[in-house]
């Protein structure tokens, strides 16, 4: 579990689970908004997919981002 406090959180640390999960032999990632993406051939590929997703989200204007 991460002990990092995110912007907008108080000092209580909420439960956090891994963003990555495997079904059969295929890997997926989840976003905070409940979006699951995949399948990917490996966890490493899912990690790359999440990094790409976050990069695209950061490029969106603030009013279009899901909070």
Residue 7 counted as domain residue = no
Residue pair 20/27 in contact (Cβ under 8 Å)? The answer is yes
Inside any domain, residue 29 = yes
Residue 48 in domain: yes
Give the range of the structural domain holding residue 27, as residue numbers without chain letter.
Answer: 20-61
Residue 40 inside a domain? The answer is: yes
DSSP calls for 30-54: E-TTS-EEEEESSHHHHHHHHHHHH
pTM over 0.95: no
In this structure, is residue 44 part of a structural domain? yes
Residues 9-43 pLDDT 10s: 666 666 667 899 999 999 999 998 889 999 999 99
Q: Is residue 50 part of a domain?
A: yes
């Amino acid at each position: 579990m991460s002990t990092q406090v995110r912007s907008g959180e108080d000092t209580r640390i909420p439960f956090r689970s891994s963003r990555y999960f495997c079904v059969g032999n295929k890997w997926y990632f989840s976003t905070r908004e409940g979006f699951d993406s995949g399948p990917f051939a490996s966890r490493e590929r899912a990690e790359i997919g999440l990094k790409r997703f976050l990069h695209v989200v950061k490029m969106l204007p603030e009013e279009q981002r899901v909070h």
